[in-house]
Amino acid sequence: MATDELSSKLNRRLKIEEGAESPVALDGAHENGDHEKPATANADSELGAKLMRRGELNEGVGEQQQPSMKVFNPYTEFKEFSRKQIKDMEKMFKQYDSEKDNFIDLSELKLMMEKLGAPQTHLGLKNMIKEVDEDLDGKLSFREFLLIFRKAAAGELAEDSGLHVLAQLSEIDVSTEGVKGAKSFFEAKVQAINTANRFEAEIRQEQEEKKKQAEEKKQRQAAFKELKSAFK
């Protein structure tokens, strides 16, 4: 197998370096005694490192890294906002995520600001993203989009900044319902101690609303059937 052959080459290279074996002269060596460096030296070193790493994992010396499985939950991380506020923000985010890739890039942010009636320069748009771009990928995730409204509610955005304008023109009120006018996020967290109970009440309200809509639909269907039978 190719792996066995590479392992054999690696072992022989180690023996040569330790002096246990003599290197075999290559055909076509220069007459002045200089040896030509193999073109694949870097590739051999990389393969050797991979083989050693695999051996360590098999022997239990190294630990194989697992990808992070952390799941973002806006309702638990952004407790200062109500479920309705977060859903309004999500609706706005999806509205301008024209590529449906769960990100708002520079061109989509440009369109958003134009639609809101506050067009920005190219540099202004880049600065808007940079202010909340925690992973430095040059675009806004939904979590980073929510950070805009967190900063706005906490009074952390300059009044002449593009993000402040975005938050003001979004028609999502985060100053009274969410943090009740708190001047800092820490004050907002103190005022949001009972958010769990509030969320439960909002969930019950949503369930009641869906139940009511289902009942109204059922009544309309019954009325339609009755009207239909009257014409038979």
Vertex 42: Cα angle to 40 and 43 (nearest 5) = 65
* pLDDT digits 0-9 by tens, 42-68: 556 666 666 676 666 666 555 544 444
Q: How far is CA 147 from CA 3, 14, 228, in A?
A: 50, 55, 54
What letter would DSSP give residue 131? H
Please report the pLDDT score of residue 77 as a whole number.
92
* pLDDT digits 0-9 by tens, 199-223: 567 777 788 888 888 889 888 888 8
Residue 175 has pLDDT above 70, yes or no: no
Q: What's the whole-number average pLDDT of the chain? A: 76
Alpha-carbon 36 to chain mean position: 49
- For 37-43, the CB contacts below 8 A with 24+ separation are none
pTM of this prediction exceeds 0.75: no
Please report the pLDDT score of residue 211 as a whole number.
86
Please report the pLDDT score of residue 176 as a whole number.
44
CATH number of 74-169: 1.10.238.10
3-state secondary structure of 65: coil
Residue 96 has pLDDT above 90, yes or no: yes
Instruction: With beta carbons less than 8 A apart as the criterion, state whether 166 and 128 touch.
Output: yes
Please report the pLDDT score of residue 56 as a whole number.
65
Reported confidence tier of residue 98, pLDDT bands at 50, 70, 90:
very high
Reported confidence tier of residue 129, pLDDT bands at 50, 70, 90:
very high
CA torsion 129-131-135-137 (nearest 10°) is 30
Lowest mean pLDDT among 7-11, 74-78, 116-120: 7-11
Q: Pick the residue with more confidence: 204 or 143? A: 143
Please report the pLDDT score of residue 209 as a whole number.
84
Tokens of 199: 């969320």
Q: Which residues pair with 208 in a beta bridge?
A: none
Domain segments of the chain: what residues?
74-169, 179-231
One-letter identity of residue 207: Q
Question: Of how many residues is the chain composed?
Answer: 232
